[in-house]
A and B are shown apart, each in its own frame.
Chain A
Amino acid sequence: MTATLPTATDPRSGAAADATATAGATAHPPLVPQQRTRHGGLGVRPPAPAHPLVRFRSSRPDLLLCGAVLLAIVLVQGWNITHFPTLSDDEGTYLAQAWAVQQGDGLAHYTYWYDHPPLGWIQVAGLTYLPSLLVPDWMTVAPMRFSMIAVSAASSVLIYVLARRLWLPRWAAGLAMALFGLSPLSVVLQREIFLDNLAVMWMLLAFCLAASPSRHLWHHFGSGLAAATAVLTKETMLVVLPALLVTMWRHSHRDTRKFAVTGAITACALIGLSYPLYALLNSELLPGAGHVSLIDGITYQMSRPGSGFILARGSGSNGVLRSWLYYDTVLPLGGLAGALLLLATLRWSVTARALAGPALAAVILAAVAMRPSGYLPAMYVIQALPFLALVLAGGAASVTHAVLRRRRTPGERRSLTYGRRALIGVLAAAAAAYVLPRWYEGDRTALTADANAPYRAAAAWLGREVPDPGRTRVLVDDALWLDAVHHGFEPGLGAIWFYKADLDPAVTRTLPRGWRDIDYVVSSPTVRRDAVDLPNVKAALEHSSPVAVFGSGEDRIEIRRTDRADGS
């Protein structure tokens, strides 16, 4: 309603005097007696909303439930976060670039080459700014994983809010939140410093705003802004936008939809265009000699060698899929099945229509993953997790509703009512019996295992045993790079991201004698895997011998000194 602007009675005596201060006052002194009433519209009652509004902030049961699940998520994800899972190369990349942003070195400490939009690690830089200021040594991958807890927490709360805004019952919203935050798969992936986690947070915000119960024009506009931020954080979020549009369409009112939806699309497009604009202002939009360009970056990402069909045994994509299913089958498979079911029953089920957006998002993401020629990164599933969780919880709510209420008459026999309840009890117990032991096992590993001891030892060794780090050059993988920098190696040309030794002309130039200009190689699984295609790195590995080895087998980390001192 608009007619509720409170205006206090204000019998100011000076006002009348003011009113006569007319330029060239005439026979008509504009004197009007004081009178204050409510201002506003015509008192037309607004149309009643189709569903009861969810007032999340003033609903105590909602806050309690959401708070309790949030606490569980934060504890499970936070405990042992530095030790498990294994530090990933990508985490190192993003955090190092965030570090470069904090140092004021631009968007990366090596030439920024439009591999991803930079907004993601700019946000990481912001998130880690204060801790890194207080304890500079913590600006390495393992401790800074704690910053991701804030992101997880925000996403979890948003998923609860979204579930309620999509008219799920309270318990189902709590279930969606728990599925999203406590699945072993989520625990593993959301702990890591991945841009996808940030992008998910923004996309959830966009969905929440699109489903705003007040259907406010600027909420929808804000939804567009949040969606653009999500895409600029991780470009693959682009494919989710149609699902967002569906959600917004369904939640906007016929009379104002035209403005709301166009506003959102405009906001999204304008913010999204700021990225090419940035490239244009840097004269780096189009490919050319002697500089990187946005087009080159996109071309690279689009032409990454495909990892095969996801269901073909032995393909790279299949390996990635198996790694997901190793941690959890319930959320990826159950969620996807639920999404397909919801889309199939769109015509009959109220829940299906309410959850059309998330279900569509899950299906689109699955379809994209099925491309036989596409490249499927391990963190891809992160984007789908919230939608899978929502769909699964929605499906549960739908089934419960059907069992308890369907064809129910007021004078139903008591035994039948009990029967319905018993059936729900059995179903719930069966689901719990299936899920809980598996998740318990998975989460227990996440809470107790230590996968990063070799990394910590290697980092410590570099700090302890290398006599003059300032003038020593070492090839490391991205995950260790910040540790090396903190131990005094020169960022960029002293501590070198191993693949830059071959791929970045600005680095290769400083290695005229190839491996002979390098003192150490820290050989981690990533380095050994990628060295095949990197001549300098390969040569350095071949012409070096281990001086320290941490761990054993495939996952071992060797610190190797090159033979330059003895050989040439």
Chain B
Amino acid sequence: MISFALFWMAAFTLWWQMHAWRTPETLASTRFDRPDGEGRLAFSLLLPARHEQAVLRHTIERLLESSHGDYEIIVIVGHDDPETSAVAEAAAARAPERVRVVVDHHEAKNKPKALNTALPHCRGDIVGVFDAEDQVHPELLAHVDHAFRSTAADVVQGGVQLINFHSSWYSLRNCLEYFFWFRSRLHLHAEKGFIPLGGNTVFVRTEVLREAGGWDQNCLAEDCDLGVRLSSVGKKVVVAYDSDMVTREETPGSLMSLLKQRTRWNQGFLQVYRKKDWRQLPGRGQRWLARYTLMTPFMQAASGVIIPLNFAVAVLLDVPVGIAIITFLPMITAMVTFVFEIVGLHDFGRQYGLRVRFVHYLKLIVGGPFYQVMLAGAAIRAVWREQRGRNEWELTSHTGAHLAPISATAGAGAAGASTAIREDGNQ
């Protein structure tokens, strides 16, 4: 029965979402270990920027405050973007030993191309990726350094957190999604050996990245794809989340841009699914986790529509009581999820020292169904675009250069929803 399928789906998702809080020991293990003195690894931090002259300077300055002793910042700018280039060059002039500028000459630009352009210039042992508007904590590199050395990891994913939960009803839910994803779910993925990485605050050993051939320039979710490719061949990925060490970001400025961002993310997931790298995973359970995770947006969309429908059928139509009770099963998991979200919001407020008011909890509950509708819309849109195939993208790629400035979309989706730079074209 559909109800049973939905019930188990929701139950699994809930189980995974709550991973970090399973036991106090699990929760303790999701944090960064305290670093043991100064770092020993050299970092190359990639900072792709496109039409982001407004925020870039501040981001670079903040990165330069880092307590770590050995790192370089490589700003990647487009050859057709003089304003951003000027900001980057000025920063390089001020701190020539730290900051370098690499120019991307690709005709149609996107984030993976920019990153691949910079990869040969990296001198460090570790490549890190940030976005131009990121607020990076000065202690982060020291912690990441320690994490690499103490766990012999190939990849370290730090936390990314949307902060502006008070901006609107959807940003509240968006923040919470990030919270559950980076605080909890990603750790489960790391433990199980299958992980879609995030778009920034991600650190990879340079030689591993080079062996892997860098980022996939054709993928709409190149970050997720990189994680899937690396973890599929058994590279060790470690995730750490500390509320004072996360990279802070903001939600997309409007519901429409959130929808677009989510569409790209979903489409990227579909592409990763079809690339089938995850089939190399050795365990059957891992492959199922991969399948399930990459298809999640679509199942989520489906369940978002079916659960209320089910409920309506059970209440309004005259069905036998036994059947009706069964149709309520998915409803039960939905309620449990709701309750955990409320507690999660409380915890989120505590961790970040933010004041969560009663009205926010109310928004969380009332906004839930509408957010589901948005997710369903994004999922349908993604499938539709994917069905229409590459023609649709060719079209965007031509107009891409004229699209709105990148700063309009703030940051990556939970598993690496792309920034606007990807909108600029994929061919």
Contacts and interface: CB of A to CB of B under 8 A. Distances in A.
A40 B190 contact: yes
A105 to B, nearest CB: 14
Given A2-B187, A30-B212, A30-B216, A277 B21 contact: no
26 contacts: A2-B26, A2-B187, A3-B151, A8-B282, A15-B232, A21-B276, A24-B218, A28-B213, A28-B216, A32-B233, A37-B234, A38-B236, A39-B190, A39-B192, A39-B237, A40-B151, A40-B190, A41-B239, A44-B33, A217-B22, A255-B28, A260-B21, A262-B343, A270-B335, A278-B325, A281-B314
B30 A41 contact: yes
B27 A256 contact: yes
Contacts of A1: 25, 29
Contacts of A44: 28-29, 31, 33
A35 B233 contact: yes
A15 B280 contact: yes
Given A28-B116, A270-B335, A277 B26 contact: no
Nearest to B238: A42
A218 interface: yes
A257 B190 CA distance: 24
A30 B18 contact: no
A216 B23 contact: yes
B213 A37 contact: no
Nearest to B328: A277
Contacts, number: 191
Interface string B51-62: 000000000000
Interface in B290-305: none
Contact of B271 (A23, A255, A274, A278): A23
B339 interface: yes
Given A18-B276, A37-B234, A40-B238, 15 more contacts: A19-B232, A23-B218, A28-B217, A31-B213, A32-B212, A32-B229, A36-B282, A39-B191, A39-B237, A42-B32, A42-B151, A46-B24, A255-B24, A259-B18, A270-B335
Given A31-B211, A35-B235, A42 B33 contact: yes
Contact of A18 (B192, B279, B283, B339): B279
Interface residues of B, number: 71
A310 to B, nearest CB: 39
The DSSP consensus for interface residues of chain B is helix
**10 tightest A-B CB contacts, nearest first:** A46-B25, A36-B234, A253-B24, A41-B29, A15-B280, A39-B193, A28-B213, A37-B236, A10-B282, A32-B233
Given A23-B218, A24-B218, A270 B332 contact: yes
Interface string A83-101: 0000000000000000000
Interface string B140-171: 00000001001110100000000000000000
A259 B340 contact: yes
B229 A218 contact: no
B321 interface: yes
The DSSP consensus for interface residues of chain A is loop
Interface string B202-244: 0000001001111111100000010001111111111110000
A28 B234 contact: no
A209 to B, nearest CB: 13
B152 A19 contact: no
Interface string A39-58: 11111111100000000000
A46 B217 CA distance: 41
Nearest to B314: A281
A30 B210 CA distance: 10
